[in-house]
Homo-oligomer: A and B are copies of this chain.
């Protein structure tokens, strides 16, 4: 499943099924796994017919569904993946495929509605303790723009002040040195930031029960 923030709302890419079962309902892109193919490779192949795979800034495995009744034609086992596209891109989609706000899903095929639900929960949790934001935000951005992305993805308000402070303190964001021009109504020009790393990193590993801190050690310690 591919998620993207568009017009300050989080959207999921769905295609409209023409054939039974679930004709007319909206489904996540996907398809059968080929003989000598990795699941990851299969996902890339399936998505290639929808978007340019290079636009996916992040891809990770979600859960595997096996309920025999999830497909009326018979038992299927499906492994869901989560892909993220930065908000500055606008992929060309096929006729039958469009973006849908995740908070207003249409009638979905199979168990895809609930799959989107668990993907959302996963994304929201990871926004809190990793740097996944990099996969939703443009290459460079102002704090106000980043805030809009986070608000869309999280589904609730976040203040620019604290977002900036938390992400800077963790070293997730880095200043580019560039500034934007002021808007039409004036205002102080905003600084441009980028994510320090373009790959997933856990930035807040343990809230509690951390390993004990290394004591300096009185004897046999290294000399600075």
- The chain A residues found within 8 Å of chain B, CB to CB, are 33, 35-40, 42, 61, 63-64, 66-68, 75, 77, 79, 125, 127-129, 150, 154, 156-159, 163, 166, 204-209, 211-212
Please give me the 10 A-B residue pairs with the lowest Cβ-Cβ distance, nearest first.
Answer: A39-B66, A156-B211, A207-B207, A64-B64, A128-B206, A128-B209, A36-B68, A64-B79, A204-B207, A38-B66
Shortest C-beta distance, A89 to chain B (Å), equals 24
Give the chain B neighbours of A204 by CB distance below 8 A. 207-208
A/B interface sample: 24 pairs, CB < 8 A: A33-B66, A33-B77, A36-B68, A37-B66, A38-B66, A38-B68, A39-B64, A39-B66, A39-B77, A61-B63, A61-B64, A64-B79, A77-B77, A79-B79, A128-B206, A128-B207, A128-B209, A129-B207, A154-B209, A154-B211, A156-B212, A158-B212, A159-B212, A166-B208
Interface majority SS (helix, strand, loop, mixed), chain A: loop
- Chain B residues lying within 8 Å of A211, measured Cβ to Cβ, are 154, 156-157
Q: How far is the CA of A209 from the CA of B125 in the complex (A)?
A: 10
- A40 surroundings in chain B (CB, below 8 A): 66
Residue contact B68 to A209, C-beta cutoff 8 Å: no
Contact of A38 among B61, B67, B79, B206 (CB under 8 A): B67
Contact A75 B156 (CB under 8 A): no
B68 lies within 8 A of A37 (CB): yes
A63 to B208, CA, bound (A): 25
What B residues does A61 contact at CB under 8 A? 63-64
Contacts of A206 in B (CB 8 A): 125, 128
**Bound complex: CA of A211 vs CA of B212, how far in Å?**
30
List residues of chain B with CB within 8 A of the CB of A125: 205-206
C-alpha spacing A42/B77, complex, angstroms: 13
The winner among A68, A79, A209 for most chain B CB atoms within 10 A is: A209
- Inter-chain CA distance A181–B211, complex, in Å, is 31
Assuming A61-B63, A61-B64, is B36 touching A75 (CB within 8 A)? yes
Instruction: Tell me the complex Cα distance, A158–B210, Å.
Output: 8
